[in-house]
């Protein structure tokens, strides 16, 4: 008996299906929510007990089940909460897309003309495919760890391409068009930036944590070792600012400060960073008229309710109409004079649509789901085997959490509105795929069977610098 087991190839012997009961239970709850949501929309629309867009909901449900089954069959011991939480956010987003007018976005694929919800289903399924592949196939993080500069330059090159070949859309040059495909590289750049920062900070952490540069009585961080990282961050953010993608710039900066704090544990640096950020914000305010517009609209949207403040005023009215439990899916205010009450509702303001039709209770629920994703990410970070994985997991979770915070705050007029997407909920291929990358990497990092980290380096400039310190 034992001889037969020993003969089996090692790779195959290790693959043993493992039940994921908690994930299955939570996924069933997601299915129930999707079914009831579809029913609610169908009843409002047709006046009969039908489920609106059931083909799309079933397709999405099958894609979720596929990721669950792939991990079960491969016997992965990954986190069991992340997929249902992300799946719920994606599902709520899909319900909103099914409800919105389908001609907001259309694309011809061959002879087929796909509408908003169909395209979103397509992107969600592709995204879930990415999640499944990453969760099952990633057994080692060397490909991220060793090539951090390669990734960083690839990301910046992508941004530079947008400069040259990008097209203007709504005053910001964000969209890169290659043949039939178009995408927003800044979404992908946020993932690449986290990978680079995790690699860099993990390597230089011992040096950064030991303050050596002193300027009179002021103890400064070891500037020579911070310079490459600061240059990279400044370059990335500068490009993003010039492209007028202020939401992404804010996101990058907050995540950078948070990761620096996690790596070094020095609150003073974060204070310094926040002060520098405030100065930069004032400079941007003075330098760019569109930043001034954003701030004045935020301070008083009702000054010009039909012009600059139109979007935010309509969003606030939508939230107010919704009340505590919403007016019901599909029962929200129809189009006014052929256009939607809230412009760009499918990308920047899905939260307003949720707030109007499903109420404050659901908005709070959605924010709770982002907290859950953040908690899982930080827990994965705390349990990680080495600093690189800790920083990577924490950074990835923070990217999702901070992005949700920035756009939700903008939608609710708590901070100035910056046009970024609500992760997993908003319409958009780049957004869905980039956030799927985040979810997939987090799942892979949470696997307790993942390859152990490589031994630390014993040679090289960092160890030499550290050794020089000891004497």
Partner 1 sequence: MDPFVLALWAVRLSLVALIWLFLFAVVRVLLRDVRRAAAEPGAELGRLVVVASPDAQPPVGARFPIDAVTTIGRDLASTVVIGDAFASLEHAVVTYRGRAWFIEDRGSTNGTYVNGSLVDGVVPLAVGDEIQVGRVRLRLDRGRR
Instruction: Please list every residue from 37 through 66 that binds partner 1, using CB under 8 A.
Output: 37, 39-40, 43-44, 47, 49
Establish if 463 lies at the interface with partner 1 (CB under 8 A).
yes
Question: Applying CB under 8 A, which of residues 8, 15, 25, 268 lies at the interface with partner 1?
Answer: 25
Q: Give the shortest CB-328-to-partner 1 separation in angstroms.
A: 4
Torsion angle of C-alpha atoms 308, 309, 312, 318, degrees rounded to 10: -120
- Contact residue for partner 1 among 183, 326, 332, 355 (CB under 8 A): 326
The residue from 68, 76, 205, 346 that contacts partner 1 (CB under 8 A) is 205
For residue 388, give both structure tokens: 């690189």
- Residue with Cβ nearer partner 1 (299 or 361): 361
CA distances 126 to 63, 70, 200, 433, Å, are 9, 15, 31, 7
Tokens of 42: 């169908």
CB 117 within 8 A of CB 102: yes
With CB under 8 A, what is the number of residues at the site for partner 1?
Answer: 56
Question: In the complex, what is the shortest distance from the CB of residue 402 to partner 1, in angstroms, rounded to a whole number?
Answer: 20
Instruction: Give the DSSP letter string of 87-101.
Output: HHHHHHHHHHHHHS-
Interacting residues of 147 by C-beta distance below 8 A, sequence separation 6+: none
Q: Which is nearer to partner 1, 252 or 388 (CB)?
A: 388
By beta-carbon proximity to partner 1, the closer residue of 293 and 386 is: 386
Instruction: Return the residues of window 400-459 that contact partner 1 according to CB under 8 A.
Output: 453, 455-458
Angle between helices 246-264 and 185-209 (to 10 degrees): 20
Contact flags string 384-403 toward partner 1, x per CB under 8 A: -xxx----------------
> At closest approach, how far in Å is the CB of 24 from partner 1?
12
CB of 349 to partner 1, least distance (A): 19
449 Cβ contact partners less than 8 Å away, ≥ 6 residues apart: 76, 77, 139
- Residue 194 contacts residue 393 (beta carbons within 8 Å): no
Q: What is the secondary structure of 374-441 as a DSSP string?
A: HHHHHHHHHT-SSHHHHHHHHHHHHHHHHHHHHHHHHHTTSS-------TTTS--HHHHHHHHHHHHH
φ/ψ of residue 270, rounded to 5:
-65, -40
Q: Which one of 379, 408, 412, 465 is in contact with partner 1 (CB under 8 A)?
A: 379
* 140 contacts: CB under 8 Å, gap ≥ 6: 450, 451
429 φ, ψ (degrees, to nearest 5): -65, -50
Q: Does 146 bind partner 1 (CB under 8 A)?
A: no
Q: Is 448 helix (H, G, I), strand (E, B) or coil?
A: coil
User: Which residues, numbered 246-285, are part of the site for partner 1 (CB under 8 A)?
Assistant: 265
Q: Tell me, residue by residue from 284 to 323, as one string, x for binding to partner 1 by CB under 8 A and - for no binding.
A: ----------------------------------------
Task: Return the number of the residue (241 or 358) whose C-beta is nearest partner 1.
Answer: 358
> Does position 340 bind partner 1 by CB under 8 A?
no
**Contact status: 361 vs partner 1 (CB under 8 A):** yes
Burial of residue 271 (number of CB atoms within 10 Å: 0-12, 13-18, 19+): exposed
- Segment near partner 1 (CB under 8 A), from 109-117, 156-164, 232-240, 357-365? 357-365
CB of 39 to partner 1, least distance (A): 6
Instruction: Give the one residue of 325, 448, 449, 451 binding partner 1; rule: CB under 8 A.
Output: 325
Is the Cβ of residue 97 or residue 174 nearer to partner 1 in the bound state? 97
DSSP, residue by residue, 273-324: HHHHHHHHHHHHHHH-HHHHHHHHHHH-GGGSTTTTTHHHHHHHHHHHHHTT
Distance CA 187, CA 167 (A): 16
Nearest to 411 by CA among 288, 322, 279, 289: 322
Q: How far is the CB of 210 from partner 1 (least distance, A)?
A: 6
Pick 80 or 184: Cβ nearer partner 1? 80
CB of 329 to partner 1, least distance (A): 7
Contacting positions for partner 1 (CB under 8 A): 22, 25-26, 29-30, 32-33, 36-37, 39-40, 43-44, 47, 49, 80-81, 84-85, 88, 92, 205-206, 209-210, 265, 325-326, 328-329, 358-359, 361-362, 365, 368-369, 372, 375-376, 379, 382-383, 385-387, 453, 455-458, 463, 466-467, 470-471
């Amino acid at each position: 008996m034992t001889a037969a087991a020993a003969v089996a190839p090692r790779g195959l012997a290790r693959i043993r299906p493992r039940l994921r009961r908690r994930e299955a239970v939570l996924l069933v709850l997601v299915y129930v929510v999707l079914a009831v949501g579809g029913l609610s929309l169908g009843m409002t629309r047709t006046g009969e007990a039908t489920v609106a867009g059931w083909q799309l909901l079933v397709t999405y449900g099958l894609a979720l089940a596929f990721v669950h089954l792939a991990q079960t069959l491969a016997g992965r011991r990954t986190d069991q909460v992340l997929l249902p939480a992300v799946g719920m956010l994606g599902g709520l987003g899909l319900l909103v897309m099914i409800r919105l007018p389908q001609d907001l976005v259309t694309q011809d694929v061959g002879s087929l003309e796909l509408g908003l919800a169909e395209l979103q289903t397509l992107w969600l399924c592709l995204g879930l495919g990415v999640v499944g592949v990453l969760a099952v196939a990633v057994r080692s993080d060397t490909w991220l760890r060793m090539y951090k500069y390669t990734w960083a330059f690839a990301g910046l090159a992508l941004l530079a391409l947008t400069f040259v070949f990008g097209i203007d859309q709504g005053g910001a040059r964000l969209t890169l068009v290659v043949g039939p495909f178009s995408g927003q590289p800044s979404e992908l750049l946020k993932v690449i930036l986290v990978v680079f920062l995790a690699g860099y900070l993990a390597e230089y952490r011992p040096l950064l944590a030991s303050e050596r540069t002193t300027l009179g009585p002021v103890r400064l961080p070891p500037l020579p070792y911070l310079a490459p990282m600061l240059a990279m961050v400044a370059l990335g953010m500068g490009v993003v600012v010039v492209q007028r993608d202020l939401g992404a710039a804010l996101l990058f900066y907050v995540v950078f400060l948070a990761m620096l704090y996690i790596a070094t544990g020095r609150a003073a640096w974060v204070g310094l960073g926040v002060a520098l950020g405030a100065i930069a914000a004032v400079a941007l305010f003075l330098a760019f008229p569109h930043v001034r517009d954003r701030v004045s609209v935020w301070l008083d949207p009702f000054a010009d309710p039909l012009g600059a403040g139109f979007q935010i005023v309509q969003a606030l009215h939508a939230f107010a109409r919704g009340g505590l439990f919403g007016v019901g899916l599909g029962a929200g205010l129809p189009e006014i004079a052929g256009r939607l009450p809230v412009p760009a509702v499918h990308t920047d303001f899905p939260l307003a649509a949720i707030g109007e039709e499903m109420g404050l209770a659901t908005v709070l629920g959605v924010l709770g789901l982002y907290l859950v994703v953040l908690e899982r990410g930080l827990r994965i970070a705390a349990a990680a085997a080495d600093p690189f994985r800790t920083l990577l997991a924490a950074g990835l979770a923070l990217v999702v959490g901070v992005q949700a915070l920035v756009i939700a705050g903008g939608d609710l007029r708590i901070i100035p509105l910056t046009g970024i997407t609500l992760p997993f909920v908003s319409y958009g291929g780049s957004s869905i795929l980039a956030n799927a990358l985040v979810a997939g990497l987090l799942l892979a990092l949470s696997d307790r069977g993942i390859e152990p980290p490589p031994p630390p380096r014993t040679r090289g400039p960092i160890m030499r610098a550290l050794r020089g310190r000891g004497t």
